[in-house]
Amino acid sequence: GAVVSQHPSRVICKSGTSVKIECRSLDFQATTMFWYRQFPKQSLMLMATSNEGSKATYEQGVEKDKFLINHASLTLSTLTVTSAHPEDSSFYICSARDVRWGLETQYFGPGTRLLVL
Amino acid sequence: KQEVTQIPAALSVPEGENLVLNCSFTDSAIYNLQWFRQDPGKGLTSLLLIQSSQREQTSGRLNASLDKSSGRSTLYIAASQPGDSATYLCAATGANSKLTFGKGITLSVRP
């Protein structure tokens, strides 16, 4: 299957700082990527849809000014958690939408664990 | 709004047992349904994907079925092994390619 990478895999930061997470599709172009958040023992919750060349679409309850998404190229989307607080500590996972071969599949990155002190 | 339910939340079985994990969804207008495996502290590993036009998919000891009309999918694991211990998530793909995940079933296979 296709490969999606995330960087960094783990990050620890102080409260009030901003953290940028990168999501890359390594062997295909993705006009659409998705960002999810997973709290301990909970399922993945979709935060936003990242669209190449246009603004991201946020799910209800997700603050767009806090979670900045930039999809500047067909292989890269970034999520910036601005002014992070301890309650933002979570596991962030991205996925990239692959529409090659006439079938739609999403490939997931390995996730980024964020700990805000 | 799509809701995906996986019951029970946890399951413990002895090694060698065949088992079925259940997944139900409320909106049958899905594009596909996927089963994932997640090990503790790790990302997702895609196991099987069933397109809406398909009834089942098989990979090794795994078989997933899909019944859109009843809003159900099952993941069958044959001859379970301790290495199968993990959390199994199902997710339904709906409009705009959005996935809705269940909370997962944490499986423990005892040696």
Residue of A nearest to B45 (CA): A108
Hey, what are A4's tokens? 């999606």
Query: pLDDT tens for residues A54-111?
Result: 899 999 999 999 999 999 899 999 999 999 999 999 999 999 998 887 777 889 999 9
Tell me which H or E stretch contains B24. strand B19-25
Backbone angles phi, psi at A99, to 5 degrees: -115, 20
pLDDT, one tens digit per residue, over B66-110 is: 999 999 999 999 999 999 999 999 999 988 888 999 999 999 999
d(CA B103, nearest CA chain A) in Å: 4
The reply to whether residue B100 touches residue A46, judged by beta carbons under 8 angstroms, is yes
- The gap between the terminal CA atoms of chain B, to the nearest Å, is 41
Q: Which residues of B touch A105 (CB under 8 A)?
A: 49
Phi, psi torsion values for A102, nearest 5 degrees: 80, 0
Residue contact A110–B43, C-beta within 8 A: yes
